[in-house]
Structure 1
């Protein structure tokens, strides 16, 4: 297994989690519809990145065994 690959996948997972946290913070204080639409798109992308990273992490872990 490539350790660099694992590190990159973990970094992507971390980034996705931070994107989700940030959008959660903005949604609680923002009342502008346009801003909320932008942050909804960001949150949707973050969940897709998180899902893809988790799937790849499982694949990498399976190869390790």
Structure 2
């Protein structure tokens, strides 16, 4: 069974959000100044927001029966 493009895009968004969170953690650990701290804080915040929105959208697709794993 093929995955619908809309569901594949939600999955890609979840993966991207996870990668953003990992990069924010690594960037924070490696940073040398406060400016980088601000950058990685914003990246982390955006990653969490994207993850939350994508999970909500995935749940909506599951609830209406439009999600197949």
- With structure 2 as the length reference, what TM-score do the two structures score? 0.86
**Aligned twin of 2:4:** 3
**Aligned twin of 2:28:** 27
Instruction: Name stretches of at least 5 consecutive residues in structure 2 with no aligned partner.
Output: none
Matches within 5 A, 1:1-65: 3-64=4-65
CA offset digits 1:11-33 (Å, max 9, x no partner): 00000000000110111121310
Larger relative contact order (CA 8 Å, sep ≥ 6): 1
Higher helix share: 1
Counterpart CA distance in 2 for 1:32 and 1:11 is 32
- With structure 1 as the length reference, what TM-score do the two structures score? 0.91
| Deviating 4+ runs (over 6 angstroms) | none
Instruction: Name stretches of at least 5 consecutive residues in structure 1 with no aligned partner.
Output: none
Counterpart CA distance in 2 for 1:14 and 1:64 is 22
> RMSD value over aligned CA atoms?
1.4
